[in-house]
A = this chain, B = another copy of it.
């Protein structure tokens, strides 16, 4: 059993026994991320005990690690003095996160508790949307001036040492706070104290506007292997930094969001773990999609009714009907997954649209032909072993041809639909992940029915 598992068990026991001394000691040994997980899993009474007895400095960290939906409730358990202490303990960006997570009323009340020293930066950070670079950045970075010596720079940095998140990059600014360059901390340590900052300073190649989407920031950090990404305003004044842990969080959020949308959800970013999300929340997020897709699926039923005479005059056609329909859904789903993921990783833009379509068209033709041939072989050699009622006027050869041709057409068209719909969605400013797998499956189900019956009717003369 790992140390964490043991400490976790101790904390759980202490809560169970309402033993506050044991709880404090065990909680002290645990990382706030583990404590946040424990807190999430507790019921109301136990959360009450947890928040009443935990060290408030530690609780501040725990709260910043809680899912958005729990923040308001948790802050509400505390009295005004405790709330003030929490807001004072956390870093600027975490404080803003807390304020963004609560209702408008609560935000106004909590804002009044923020220390006068912090109120200005808090209000200015609140302007940025939660999912923008500005909303994600921390304002705790090291900044110095080009005309300083290393000795002066170190003295100035030392004052902020306790609260600065990362000194991997120290930014050089001019009198108007505009970003002029950076130094690595080691450049300060490995040069003489009299050296001018201007002589060790390096060029900042990449920065991002505070109003930019968080995904853009994460893609930039990921592509260029950046340590830290400075966030600037339109005048190139440095406002904050995006650090590696922000990027990791953004990437996980965005991947989860994409996956959920691809499976057909309403697709809001959810920070709560699966088990801690109330069943009702799951229900609300999944139902509207299911209902919409179910209504759409009735279209397939209408097609079946319309082609009743075809099916009734040769019922063995139903042997391959679900297969032709499903193959389209599967190829369409694969194609859309590839394209949506490529877009999320920043690989595709509108200019490459035709290359994607051309590639998927060829791929669809290849997949459709080979699968069609495979199914034709099954129809010619295996089906006759079990089915002896084929009318001689039709025969297995024609039947195999109908199956193969409809399968080929269905797969080729579904692959094209699966790859082009996400691109079209993005061009229409709709999130591409929304039109993914389930929506595409439902659409190509209908077209698959039509293609199958139509081809069968034409080739078999029904």
A residues lining the B interface (CB < 8 Å)? 31, 33, 154, 157-158, 161, 166-168, 185-186, 188-190, 205, 221-225, 227, 244-245, 247-249, 251-252, 255-256, 258-260, 262-265, 273-275, 279, 282-283, 286-287, 289-291, 293-294, 297-298, 300-302, 304-305, 308, 312, 315-316, 318-323, 325-327, 329-331, 333-334, 336-339, 341-342, 345, 347-348, 352, 355-356, 359, 362-363, 366-367, 370-371, 374-375, 378, 411, 437-438, 441-442, 445, 449
Which residues from chain B contact A330 at a C-beta distance below 8 Å? 264, 289-290, 293-294, 438, 441
C-alpha spacing A189/B342, complex, angstroms? 44
Which residues from chain B contact A167 at a C-beta distance below 8 Å? 168, 185-186
C-alpha spacing A331/B290, complex, angstroms? 7
Interface centre among A293, A300, A320, A326 (most CB of B within 10 A): A326
Whether the pair B244, A333 counts as a contact (CB closer than 8 A) is no
**Sample (18) of A-B pairs whose CB atoms are under 8 Å apart:** A161-B186, A161-B190, A166-B227, A167-B168, A227-B244, A244-B245, A244-B248, A264-B333, A275-B342, A275-B347, A293-B326, A294-B374, A294-B375, A297-B323, A298-B378, A301-B321, A305-B315, A308-B315
Which residues from chain B contact A341 at a C-beta distance below 8 Å? 256, 259-260, 274
C-alpha spacing A449/B319, complex, angstroms? 13
Which residues from chain B contact A356 at a C-beta distance below 8 Å? 274-275
Which residues from chain B contact A275 at a C-beta distance below 8 Å? 342, 347-348, 352, 355-356, 359
Whether the pair A263, B437 counts as a contact (CB closer than 8 A) is yes
Which residues from chain B contact A255 at a C-beta distance below 8 Å? 251, 255, 259
Task: Select which of B265, B287, B301, B363 is within 8 A of A282 by beta carbon.
Answer: B363
Which residues from chain B contact A221 at a C-beta distance below 8 Å? 248
Main DSSP-derived SS at the A contact region? helix
Residue of B nearest to A323 (CB): B297
C-alpha spacing A155/B323, complex, angstroms? 71
Which residues from chain B contact A251 at a C-beta distance below 8 Å? 248, 251-252, 255
Residue of B nearest to A293 (CB): B330
Whether the pair B262, A337 counts as a contact (CB closer than 8 A) is yes
Shortest beta-carbon distance from A278 to chain B in Å? 10
Shortest beta-carbon distance from A265 to chain B in Å? 7
Whether the pair B326, A442 counts as a contact (CB closer than 8 A) is yes
Which residues from chain B contact A370 at a C-beta distance below 8 Å? 287
Given contacts A185-B186, A318-B304, A437-B263, whether A326 and B287 have CB atoms under 8 Å apart is no
